[in-house]
A and B are shown apart, each in its own frame.
Chain A
Amino acid sequence: MKVLVAVKRVVDANVKVRVKADKTGVELANVKMAMNPFCEIAVEEAVRLKEKGIVTEIVVVTVGPTVAQEQLRTALALGADRAILVEAEDVTPLGVAKVLKAIADIEQPQLVILGKQAIDDDNNQTGQMFAALAGYPQGTFASLVKVEGGKATVTREIDGGHQTVELTLPAVVTTDLRLNEPRYASLPNIMKAKKKPLDIKKPADLGLNLASTLKTLKVEPPAERKAGIKVKTVEELVDKLKNEAKVI
């Protein structure tokens, strides 16, 4: 069975981002970039399914700039078999979903795994949108995935606890933090990844026009919260909460 994994190049999770002075976005020049952490979990899940003998081929795909090849190479080093870059920038989740639909029509995967959200735009949309366009069922925010007999059984993290759903393949899974702990790529695997196939396409090659209906008018820093005071004793704290803040 073939699995398609979608990944995204984002600002490294450890970087504290700054809003640009002209308010057009956040500062990305000379900032460390990396694979979105939820996408790493998606790659890891696919690799584990391959190690269990359930999956035979892992195709990793990204929609992004030319340099997003770095993240595809990372995925190949972690165990993906081949990669596809669709070169386009500033694509909305709906646009990415349309690209994935076009790729899925060609590749015919049984399972498509994505991160639940990217830590740059925090949209949490792409997997669900792709699933709708493809007519696939979805197991979002997954903390456990079992694939057996043409079905995927997915345990999902929901408000208040967990829910388990059964999906008829082909299906979409989006990963939550606790699905697995991604491995690190070994040096020999990083070397091997350089020789794995990486195909580059343009949206037009897939018959797509990804013009967006959304316009970002401005990006601003959030309202600053001022540091308050340190109190010495618990008595003082209780007094402040009762008489100054009046919250208890």
Chain B
Amino acid sequence: MDFINFLIQLLNSVQYGLLLFMLAAGLTLIFGIMGVVNLAHGSFYMLGAYLAWSLAALTQSFTMAILIGTVLSVLFGLFLEWLLFRHFYKRDHLDQVLLTFGLIYVFEEMRSILWGDDVHGVTIPDALSASIPLTDTLSYPVYRLFMSGVCLLLALGLYLLISKTRLGMKIRAGAFNHEMTEALGVNIKLIHALVFALGVGLATIAGMVAAPVSSVYPNMGSQVLIMCFVVVVIGGIGSVKGALIAALLVGLVDTFGKVLLPQVAGMLVYVLMALVLLYKPEGLFKN
């Protein structure tokens, strides 16, 4: 592999890692703060992609699609939290697994009824459709850089929100000691609802931003969900920093695995997880 190819693969792996981080961050926050296993998290990614596709067709503008889609997904997250998840924070993990598995089926069929079972493409907006030429034959699409940029910005925003704002302080306090935080007068229910909606929002944005590259298809949430589980396990539950590092690591292993060892590429990430588990059963960054 020469340097240019290496560079392209490296950019791809970082972009994939950052995308995984967007999903894993929400997942790990919801795990860490509310103690909920959410198997349906991948469905939000799918929802995002389908929203991007239908809203872009409706409004004729990718930017508008993303803005409206984000608002809709946050509202949807708040609604779901109010209707179902709120009642499951204190329940057994088994109940949570069942509930969210049932929701996967519900979401998949709602998708099938609303949007059909066909594969769709989303066109890249004109402003971002260019490619940066690297050599005579190889180039790198601007849109992929844009994706990485969006993800990085959101990761930075998330970091600032959690570690520098008053709301973030309350979130961290709630994760640390639920009852004590509530006793101090913090509306923990509202915090939970916001964290859940934040997780849904991040996953949906990831889906919307990824739609032009990955295209939009049924069951697109399942595979990405399992990758996110791996990221969360490697990073350590509840740790956003861990999720970021683990996501980049998984992105690297997966992308370079596919190029260098295509025969076993599907398994490499899980081997990585097994190795981490052997030495650090609670992930790299235990919270």
Same complex? no
